[in-house]
A and B are shown apart, each in its own frame.
Chain A
Amino acid sequence: MAGGSDTPPPVPEPADGQSPRIGVDEWVASVEGRRDRGKGVVGYVRGEFARVPRPAFYLAFGIAAAFLPAVTNNGYAIRVGFNTLLYMLLALGLNIVVGYAGLLDLGYVAFYGFGAYGYAMLASPKFGIHWDTLAVIPVVVIATAALGFLVALPSRRLVGDYLAIVTLFFGQLFVSVYTNGERMSFLGLTRSYDVTGGPNGIPNVDNFNAFGHQVSSLQAYFYVALVMFLVVLGAVYLVERSRTGRAWMSLREDPLAAELMGMPVNRLKLIAFAAGAAIAGLTGTVFAALNTAVFSADFDVPTLIIIYAILILGGAGTLGGVILGALVVNVSLEVLRTPGHATWIFYTLIVATLVAKLRPWRWLAAVAAGTIGFGFAVHAIVAATWAAGVDGQPAVGGILGSGLRHWVVLPASPRTIGNVAFIGLIFAVLLLTTLQGWVRKLVLIPTLYLTAFVWENRLVVEPSITRLILIGVILIVLMNARPQGLLGSQRVEIV
């Protein structure tokens, strides 16, 4: 079955009565499903898992998330949770355009920004308008959907790459207009008006308020975002199964075939764009309300790339993937900001990857022993020849830290040598991908050590840059190794 949807593999129909169906060998027909599941306990668990209906998972996620503000009072943790929910919402919208309909929309953040600015203009002292939230949200969502419709209108003739180009420039145009919007005049004919506040954005945006109640605490916003997410998720789940959803997927698989089958291809594209844009606009309103200010810089390419990374990592076209992708990308990258935690996660990830990928076991043992021995040897040599080379302190304390101090070379001034090592590491990893067999394992040992060296001396010190570098790497590696993402199923391209 072609298609990245997360429907469970079709269970072969039970043969009615006792007579086996003619022309169908059920054992053969179901072999792929069984092969995917694997054998033994793992296979059994995965089989049972696949039987649970999808909405149960979404509900379980919703309940688990609802407990977050209850278990922690930590404002930072709730804030991260809130941001993750926003990214999930954004990824849901993008999922419709890219995941279902297969249209590469690189101007998606513009709709997010449009929603945020729309809310800020209708509920702030900027123009003295203070509408009720229940009025603002429908207006903004409909306006964003209309904008999406307008962008798609000329784009529907453009296929593939050209669509990507036009939407990318639409996004750039948007950022440019909002950044310079403090002196706008209509074609230079009228006098200048301050529409967007330019680089200063729009400050003092109102809180959400409805029926005389204000949403003011972070916890409350978290719940607002959670409810929004679950409602949108439910809607998208239903749409996925509807005629429109299935038509989108057929459009993604083969537009020509879809059109020949009588699908209204152009209308489907327009609806997909408008629906994605509407969700982005909705997300923008919550974003603006919690942050009480909007700036054009929040709606530029880096945000776009993070949303894409989330969607791709989870698997475009799957709803569970959106949740998983946002959790992995946003939470893990947020954790990276604390050097102590980041270091633990970093080494755990490396060890886990090695354990999962390196077989047979004796190779794993050999590489692990080799890396540890190599590290101590290098450390001893450096300590003997260059005293300042081992003066630094690792970013993590405790047992890991004291172990690392005797293993990784930590120069007192690591900047330059760390940069050189970083470039060296890129080449080492590239080299590694071209090698095979035992040579590969041999090169793996110094590469692992170099990775630790670069991490301790350079990456952990610059968390905000490391975050962005990692997102770039995720996109490249994932597209090359597993283009369907974590939860997607392999698609077969028929050319």
Chain B
Amino acid sequence: MNWNLFLTELVSGVTHGSVYALIALGYSMVYGVLKLLNFAHGDIYMVGSYIGFGLITVFGGAQTLSTSVWVLLPLMFICAMLGGGLLGVLIERFAYRRLRNAPRIAPLITALGVSFFLENAALLVLGAQYQSYNSFSWKGGELWREGLMLPAGVHLAVAQIVVVVGAVVLMVFLTLFVQRTQLGKAMRATSFDREAAAMMGIDVDRVIVATFFIGSALAGAAGVFNGLAYQQVWPYMGFQAGLYAFIAAVVGGIGNLPGAVVGGLVIGLAQSLSIGYISSTFSDAIVFAVLIAVMIVRPSGLLGRAAVQKV
């Protein structure tokens, strides 16, 4: 067995998977409280990625960073998370709020419209060309030169460690928030039964806004992580990543937070391993086929509760 190939794809799969998991968490949270598939979520991730790119440009560009990497990184995260979160809140306020009680099809189509609008607005404002974080050349490649040596000559770079550890930290914070704080409890209650929660005195509007803010902030952070590990940013990046995260959320059981993380890792690994072992051109098709298979065999996802549907 070729351990080098296997470990390389494993590392790549876990890194990708962490990014997908972060986006999937937001998808899942929003679905939990609103029962809405927020197709615009992937585009929030795109905006977060561009915010990070904007900060690199502000600090002199990748080749000639005017500040330390360890100052820039937290700054990028804070800005991308705030920007993503605010964008999510705006979308909720202006596009979805009036449709809370509309037929199910209306918010779905609105979400498609928001996604289409964001992508093309970004295309207009930022241009169609690919931009690169170029994190290889930050301060002489600090982020990629250092790192751990794994067996079989596989190098685990600092950037990849930052991505995985950062994602884990965010997930731990999210879990603590949802399990321990009052707002988190309100969120769980709302997602369990919105009307009953409202009757118990929970301010459902506030919970929904908070959900959008947190979910979208995670997507913003995921955008920066992706830029760090995979460099490229372009206006349509959100669609592809959104699809994958969406698959992750669905595979894990949409509305279920640990499920989203598991789903993200499964999808990241499935993608990397199929690129490594089967065919790079058909990795998309393989992942989609996995999703359709899971949906047919277990419509509620791997960790999801079976939803009781009357028809």
- In the complex, are the beta carbons of A188 and B279 less than 8 A apart? yes
CB closest chain-B residue, reference A459: B124
Measured CA separation A473–B117 after assembly (Å): 6
Residues of A within 8 A of B35 (CB): 161
- In the complex, are the beta carbons of A475 and B101 less than 8 A apart? no
Highest count of chain B CB atoms <10 Å: which of A312, A459, A480: A480
Interface check A351, CB cutoff 8 A: no
CB distance from B6 to the nearest CB of A (A): 19
- In the complex, are the beta carbons of A422 and B121 less than 8 A apart? yes
- In the complex, are the beta carbons of B292 and A169 less than 8 A apart? yes
| Contact partner, B113, options A168, A183, A419, A474, Cβ 8 Å | A474
Measured CA separation A98–B250 after assembly (Å): 23
| Contact partner, B284, options A176, A183, A419, A459, Cβ 8 Å | A176
- In the complex, are the beta carbons of A483 and B103 less than 8 A apart? yes
Chain B positions 239-287 with a Cβ under 8 Å from a chain A Cβ: 239, 243, 246-247, 250, 278-279, 281-282, 284-285
| Contact partner, A472, options B102, B113, B281, B284, Cβ 8 Å | B113
- In the complex, are the beta carbons of A475 and B250 less than 8 A apart? no
Interface check A65, CB cutoff 8 A: no
Interface residues of A, dominant DSSP: helix
Take A473-B117, A474-B113, A475-B110 as given contacts and tell me if A256 and B285 are in contact as well, using a CB distance cutoff of 8 Å: no
1/0 per position for B106-145, CB-CB distance to A under 8 A? 1111101111111111011100000000000000000000
1/0 per position for A146-171, CB-CB distance to B under 8 A? 00000000100111111011101110
- In the complex, are the beta carbons of B291 and A169 less than 8 A apart? yes
Residues of A within 8 A of B106 (CB): 479, 483
Number of residues in A with C-beta < 8 Å to the partner?
A: 57
- In the complex, are the beta carbons of B246 and A165 less than 8 A apart? yes
Chain A positions 252-276 with a Cβ under 8 Å from a chain B Cβ: 255-256, 259, 265
In this complex, the interface size class of chain B, counting residues with CB under 8 Å from chain A, is 35 or more
Top 9 nearest A-B pairs (CB, nearest first) are A475-B113, A472-B117, A472-B116, A180-B281, A468-B120, A476-B113, A173-B288, A479-B110, A255-B311
Interface segment among B7-15, B90-98, B147-155, B159-167: the answer is B90-98
Residues of chain A having any CB pair with chain B under 8 Å: 98, 102, 104, 154, 157-162, 164-166, 168-170, 172-173, 176-177, 180, 183, 188, 255-256, 259, 265, 301-302, 305, 308, 312, 419, 422-423, 426, 430, 433, 458-459, 462, 465-466, 468-469, 471-476, 479-480, 483, 491, 493, 495
CB distance from A414 to the nearest CB of B (A): 13
| Contact partner, B37, options A98, A161, A169, A462, Cβ 8 Å | A161
Measured CA separation A422–B126 after assembly (Å): 12
CB distance from A386 to the nearest CB of B (A): 22
- In the complex, are the beta carbons of B102 and A483 less than 8 A apart? yes
Take A301-B239, A430-B94, A472-B113 as given contacts and tell me if A419 and B125 are in contact as well, using a CB distance cutoff of 8 Å: yes
